[in-house]
Amino acid sequence: MTDIKKIVVIGPESTGKSTLSAALAEALNTIWVPEYARAYLEQLGRPYEQHDLIEIAKGQLQSEDELAVKANRLLICDTDLNVINVWSNARYGHCNRWITENIATRKYDMYLLTNIDTIWEDDPLREHPLPEERKYFYNIYKDIVQSSNLPWADISGKHEERLKNALEAIQQHILS
């Protein structure tokens, strides 16, 4: 598992993170970690509360750890705990310390930041459809990846272009 390189696809809601993650895993003959929050929230049966974010974070990390042993050199992660931190701060004004401590200790190898140049797709689990909200969150994620001291790439365009650009970035920074 230590030889596995972890690539995080990060960005605002409805920017094609899951689509890109699945396509990258297929193109790179590996597997991807779906966003645990979606499965958790779909089965919750009530509006989420702040304590749910810790359970989501734990589930995300557990999924990552379980799938890393099955990955072929690369593990594509559809999100990381930074997203939960941003989500918690936006909704509640702060984030649980367990989450921020795990952000500090969890190691990744690269970020792919999905741009907001996609069409918003309505979904009951999404909360920020306005263009100014999308730009606000995009800028937060851009700050995160820029300060991560990891290679990162801004991924924009239509699906095929996004996949091509992401594969080129991975080739340049991880596989070279």
Using a cut of 0.85, tell me whether the model's pTM lies above it. yes
User: ∠ CA(41), CA(33), CA(37), 5° rounding?
Assistant: 15
As given in the structure block, the two tokens for residue 9 are: 């696809």
pLDDT computed for residue 1 by the predictor: 44
pLDDT computed for residue 113 by the predictor: 98
Average pLDDT of each block of 10 consecutive residues along the chain (176 residues)?
87 93 98 95 91 97 97 97 96 96 97 89 61 92 98 96 98 94
pLDDT computed for residue 129 by the predictor: 62
In whole angstroms, give the CA distance from residue 37 to residue 88: 13
Give the residue from 113, 174, 108, 107 showing the smallest Cα distance to 142.
Answer: 113
CATH classification of the domain holding 27? 3.40.50.300
Task: Give the structural domain span for 76.
Answer: 5-175
Total count of domains within the chain: 1
Q: Which residue has the tokens 């779909």?
A: 42
Q: Which residue has the tokens 């997203």?
A: 83
Which stretch of DSSP H or E encloses residue 64?
helix 50-68
What is the signed CA dihedral for 126, 21, 166, 70, rounded to 10 degrees?
A: 150
pLDDT computed for residue 124 by the predictor: 59
